[in-house]
Chains A and B, each alone.
Chain A
Amino acid sequence: MALLRSFLMRLISTAITLFGVAVIVFVVIRVVPGNPIAMMLPPGATDADIARLQAQYGFDKSIFQQFLIWLGDVVQGDFGTSISLRQPVSELVLNRLPATLELSIMALTIAVLLGGAMALLGTRYRGTKAEGAVDIGAGMALSIPDFLWGLVLILLFGVLWPIFNISGRISPALNIDFSTNFYLFEAILRLRFDVIGDLLGHMLMPALALAIPLAAIIAQLLKQSLKETMHLDYVTLARTRGYSEHSVIIHEALPNAVLPTLTLVGVQFTFLIGGTVIIERLFSYEGLGNMAIDAVINRDLPLIQGIVILFALLFTLVNLVVDMLYVVLNPRLRHA
């Protein structure tokens, strides 16, 4: 019962958040200068042509009226038609979403593995040079933002020592027809190892750029949390029972230490998804973020709105998953 109520509250607050986002985006992109219609038409177009097209897209009405019309359509699942690409926004956006999801999840996986390993290492060898190395490494990784890491990686592995693909999502020469846009997921299911290799080769650099700062955050937080947990009585007790130091860290301390880290990683993951906008551009990766930049350049109002709403939805979803995981991993809440 309490669970159902908290779920309903969640749903309502999500709806309110999305509505707020929609209002802000709607107003902001109409207030900034730049006329999408004028950009569509060839230079010789007459004022009458512009007015006709403006009416077709509804831009001749007041912002308030436009918003009501747009909202009415959205409720029915219609996000309008892209001005620059002349296709339904929902179709465009959903086609690109899998690419961004795969990239973000890959980056998150790398960050968790890398940051987790660093935290465990720093805890196992605390008080030694190894811990110092972890601290310094994490500090440095954190002081450089993801897009600069992207540039560094491009210079290193794209220019100086070109072993990875630094452009696109997949080699065009590859002979495969996908039935979904989840290329990596599908390639794994179909056991096409050549395709998996090619996809990973394209993804690794942008994913790494996104992952490095998050890995550093995880390393610092988890190590701190582990350190505090290592002083607790039940960890000491496990030690007196003959367990080795790393068995104590992994089996006794870790399950508790991940809890405070988890919440923050959730928040940071939404930042990471935001980071895909620039990183995808940098690596010409055909995802949502790359499309978002084109949409802004072309003043493609319906498309911008659609993408922003989708990002907002994604963020709330991530938070929901984190909250659920927290309950699953924490027995004190599971039975409450």
Chain B
Amino acid sequence: MASLVPCPHCGPRPKEEFTIKGAALPRPAPTADPAEWFDYVYLRDNPRGSYAEYWHHTAGCRRWLVVSRDTITHQVAACRDAAAQGHAA
């Protein structure tokens, strides 16, 4: 029915306005070990609890955000502009 995401630019907005990409992981260097790239592209933790993800405020400010939410309670602990913290979480 609803989940409100506190966009740092737009205020609380329903999840329908967003596109979720998935885990906010730092992108390896192009020369990084293949195993590191494999982890980045394919492996996910699926934690019970806190999880940082890339969300795009597609129908709002169109900024990419890093949303830290609890996968059990859906409580959003933090929501930052992805550019504000350089290369991912």
Q: Are A and B genuine complex partners?
A: no
Residues of chain B touching chain A, judged by Cβ–Cβ distance below 8 Å, are none
